[in-house]
Amino acid sequence: MYVNPGELNKHIQIIQFIPEGVNSNGFPIPPTEKIIRKCWAKVSNTSGSEIIKANSEFAEAKKRFLIRFTETEINTDMIVRYKGKDHDIKYVNPYGDSKEYMEIWTDLSERV
């Protein structure tokens, strides 16, 4: 499959959260963010909807990020940060047979 490298024009970060445990009072310490990779991507909106949950409106969007292939492991425990919003990774797939690119399918669910 042909990909125009010029279409990889959106900057993203792939982030992993590292748990820190609990403090001396037994309360959880917020996890530390570790940037796994900064790269350029082609971003495609795959679907979007507005739904009602517990009498609140939510916007739900699904995106596909196409990036150059990396040997660095990317998995569903990580997130993609794009334009200041965090997208949960749902699926990572090599794109085509050439191992030049990989696609990352994500969900974004936030309160409106």
State the total domains in the chain.
Answer: 1
Could you tell me if residue 2 is inside a domain? no
pTM to 2 decimal places: 0.79
To the nearest 10°, report the CA torsion of 77, 75, 79, 49.
-100
Render pLDDT for 72-102 as a digit per residue (tens, 0 to 9): 999 999 999 999 999 999 999 988 787 899 9
Render pLDDT for 55-74 as a digit per residue (tens, 0 to 9): 555 556 789 999 999 999 99
Is 41 within 8 Å of 12 (Cβ atoms)?
Answer: yes
Residue 80: which domain range?
7-111
Render pLDDT for 33-58 as a digit per residue (tens, 0 to 9): 999 999 999 999 886 555 555 555 55
d(CA 94, CA 104) in angstroms, rounded, equals: 9
d(CA 77, CA 37) in angstroms, rounded, equals: 14
The CATH number of residue 42's host domain is 2.40.10.270
| Single-letter residue type at 76 | T
DSSP class of residue 6 equals: G
Could you tell me if residue 62 is inside a domain? yes
